[in-house]
Structure 1
Amino acid sequence: MISDPELDGTGETRPAEQAEQAEEPPPREGEAGARRPWLWALGGAVIASAVWAGGLYAFGNLLAAPEVSYRATENLCQDFEARALGRIAGDLHRYRPRNQQDDHPAVRRAVCSLQNGESISTFTVRAQVDLHRKTDPGPEFDVPSAWLFAEGSGVRTEEVRGLGERALLLVGPRENSVELKVLHGGAVFMVAATGTGGERSTQADTAALQAATVEDARALLAALKK
């Protein structure tokens, strides 16, 4: 038996199957509508993970350990001969060179202190080598040293070419003290020389002191090169 078509309220007829589909109740609360927040949360987690991974990729060079192409010294006073400075102040290894070592997980440090006298000296030299194992020392290379603060105002800075990646020479206001800093990868070298005679050095004396400091620092880098 063929059933009569249904009216849809507008005077038009519609098949019975379409009428049954149209009369299905809307989804109850807690079904499809409740699933939408989970989709938003899932999408947010995916985006956050992508941003985090991108950040690690972008800053990968900063997080990586710096490359160190110099060996660790067991006795810096043996590796640092200071021949050029010795021609100015005499044999600097004669009066009990002081060697210090500090093997920290982040930085391996070696220090050598030299002077040209036993109880009274007129010339002192300090050499230091820092091998950075965790972080790149480059961003902090320009930070003034404690020696610079001790000298006060009037310290001038000169850049030295052809030595490491960067090299800075600091000259004290009395022209009788210099400090040379050299950066090469994760290694930072420092050689400081000071005349304690109390008199202001001449221009020729200052030039000789600078040249000797650079020469001895260059020899130290070559001695510790792997």
Structure 2
Amino acid sequence: MTAMTIATIAATPAIVVFDLGGVLFDWNPDYLFRKLIADETERKWFLAHVCNGAWNIQQDGGRSLAEATASLSALHPQHAPLIAAFYARWTEMLGGTLAPGVAIFNALEAGGVPLYALTNWSAETFPYARSNAPYQPILERFKDILVSGEEKLIKPDPRIYQRMLERIRAHHPDAQPEHLIFIDDVERNVLAARALGWRAIHHADPAATAAQLRDWGLPT
């Protein structure tokens, strides 16, 4: 990237939109299921073929936890107690905050950058984060948070990004897609944002994320 390109980008107003899980918050079903399925091979099979990501993300899109549990238990009755535990003990999958991501968040906030959140998260489980440490103190500092389960849309659906932009415009009426910088640990979500004209970072390495933000003239 040339110096001229960096200067041009840095002059563009910046509004940063964070994903939460995998960027600021640590969430991993393995934290719970290590307690429930001692054998690693069996545990990996269960999380890949029964309570897997494709099933879980439907709750992020608005399906109720009760319906999700009942329908999956009907398909796998032999695993019904483990399936029930997924949401009954969901908070045991949370591992606190991710220090490198929070350091980026803190630096941006200290530099006066407007901060928003766009997360794939169930509407039924997100209230726990809203009201419990260590998540609540961070969530309270965002100007707005769009939760997929509340909108019944999930990333990478383009409509959820458009809805985020509309929400941002409630605070910044002149905001345009090129003003938005999106940070997400899932590459397909990043690619969807870029397709809509957002600047976006695949958060695979916090140091690389911070470096990219600096290249765009932001404090990290």
Q: With the length of structure 1 as denominator, give the TM-score of the two structures.
A: 0.26
**Which entry has the higher C-alpha Rg, 1 or 2?**
1
Instruction: Return the structure number with greater relative CO, CA threshold 8 A, min gap 6.
Output: 2
More helix by share: 2
